[in-house]
Amino acid sequence: MRRLLWPPSDRVRNRSYLRDRLVALPLLAVVAFTTLGWAYADVRDDSAYIRTQLAPALGDLADARISLRIAQREAEVSLDAGDAVELSGLGPRYAARTGAAAQDIARLSRGGAFTEAQRQELDVVSGLIDGYEEWIAWARTNVGNPSLRRAGLAYAQSMLCSDATAEPVTDRHAPYPPCGAARGNDATTVVDRIAALEGDLHDRLAERAAPGPGVLTAVAVSLLSFTLLSVGLWRTLVFLRRRMRIRVSVPLVAAALPLLLVPWAVADGVRAWQAQRDAVPYARVLAKEASPAVEIVLDEDPLAAPAPTAIRPATARMERTVALGRFGDIGSLADWAAPAGLVVGGVLAGALHVYRREYLVVGRGGGT
């Protein structure tokens, strides 16, 4: 390493110096570009996964959870009308919200955000939603009998929430009671299961947004290698000018040009990582602050300015935050990093081999 950072002393033989550079510089180029490409690809893959998989999945889970609670309230209000519900039905909002929840779960099952075990859990949730709708239909069939109607509504509510103790209400704008307090093995209701899936995605988001030990190690190795390579190239150019009277080595200068992209790639990777961290609060909004009351306002007035805690705007901001975490369209840099390292290493090896051979030919008569 000392020979890379300092110029050769008078006691260092020229042929030894060139031989060391012939081995060290190409190896450093390959290691530096390969590790940089791997770390950069890992960060960019995390950004793409968060934007295209995790963010939409978190939005769909929140939408399914809130939609079912709105549907329950709509069913309670509609069934309170008694026999009139047989003519008017449960209302378009109930059908729209139960349909939206079913579509959300189906879309999640087809997506790539979940493992096989989690997709099986989504199938269970889908089955529970079907069962929930059957109990609401049973309550509607028995709407003329208050006791049976309330029993059907209560059982449907118990399928949604663990702490389903509230009486049916007649005002769709009344405050919503707590829902989904159970966790672990006690999480058997739809909301509990959806909340558990949201928790799994939050853990995965936090894991993806944090640089892992592999990335940190690759970055450290890459930066050290690039530092040694840059200083080594500069010292080699100085050596060629002083010892071999080569004013400018075109191959070595050409091999140094790809190094100009390294600061840009590092800055872009850091910005992408920061954008991933900035996306985490939006996930908390979707899980903790999204509410039926906010979504009902948007149902009644789609042109109203959405609240910061509205599901779709929060999801869109989360996706946009991650998408904007880059300086330019250089995502393909990771694919070219390792080949670029091989090319740079080959150019360096070829040029230094030629210089060493020329020196040996000239120096046979007594050179050092």
pLDDT digits (tens, 9 = 90+) for 3-15: 555 555 555 566 7
Q: Is the pLDDT assigned to residue 367 strictly greater than 70?
A: no
Q: Is the pLDDT assigned to residue 38 strictly greater than 60?
A: yes
Distance CA 187, CA 181 (A): 8
| More confidently predicted of 303 and 191 | 191
Q: What's the mean per-residue pLDDT of the chain?
A: 84
Q: pTM for this one?
A: 0.84
Q: Which of 262, 260, 347 is nearest to 25 (CA)?
A: 347
Whole-angstrom CA distances from 73 to 63, 144, 153, 173 are 15, 19, 10, 9
Q: Give me the pLDDT at residue 132, please.
A: 93
pLDDT digits (tens, 9 = 90+) for 233-284: 988 888 888 777 778 888 889 988 988 888 888 888 888 899 999 999 999 9
pLDDT mean over 46-64: 94
Which helix (DSSP H) or strand (DSSP E) does residue 301 occupy? none
| 174 three-state secondary structure | coil
Distance from the Cα of residue 178 to its chain's centroid: 31
Distance CA 158, CA 275 (A): 40
Distance CA 181, CA 148 (A): 27
Q: Is 180 left (phi over 0), alpha (psi -120 to 50) or beta?
A: left
Distance CA 90, CA 194 (A): 25
